[in-house]
Amino acid sequence: MGKRIGIVCGSFHRDEVEQMLAFATDEAEQHGLTIGDVVWVPGSMEVPLALDRLLANHDSAACLGIIEKGETQHGLAMGQAVIKTILELQLKHDKPIGLGIIGPGAKPKHIEPRLEPHARAAIGAVLDA
């Protein structure tokens, strides 16, 4: 395939997202994708801007991160806004974006078992698009 993919990673859960990045990189390499730029952002709210910039010089992109369940609905509202904007960016750039954000509403017990499947699925979504 030989396509170049950019990846945006949320650093709020850095250790876990580094694991996700390793799984995503492995999945991309297995399918002949080249990992271009990897951009770390503070959290999910900063993902759309980084994706918008990456898509200017990549064939596709993926985003990796975690939105935990908090005591309020903040994470849910944020997650919905981020996902809506990611969908809009796909249409704007006419390029696929793989969503590898665990949550919103993830509890600590949900995170570890989802690291690998969400990371690999984000790459798979780009391949299938």
Segment 67-120, tens digit of pLDDT: 988 788 888 888 899 999 999 999 999 999 999 999 888 999 999 999 999 999
Residue 1 predicted with pLDDT over 50: no
Higher pLDDT: 69 or 35? It is 35
What is the rounded CA–CA span in Å between residue 20 and residue 75?
20
Average of pLDDT values for 5-29?
97
Residue 55 predicted with pLDDT over 50: yes
Q: What pLDDT does residue 128 have?
A: 78
Average of pLDDT values for 37-41?
98
- C-alpha angle with apex 109: 105 to 115, nearest 5 degrees? 80
Q: What is the pTM of this model?
A: 0.93
Q: What is the mean pLDDT of the chain?
A: 93
Q: What pLDDT does residue 2 have?
A: 57
Average of pLDDT values for 10-20?
96
Residue 129 predicted with pLDDT over 80: no
Residue ranges of the domains in the chain? 4-128
Please say whether the structural domain 4-128 has been given the CATH code 3.40.50.960: yes
- Name the E strands within the chain: 4-10, 34-41, 60-68, 97-106
Residue 15 predicted with pLDDT over 90: yes
Phi, psi for residue 60 in degrees, rounded to 5: -160, 180
What positions carry a catalytic annotation?
A: 74
Q: What pLDDT does residue 94 have?
A: 96
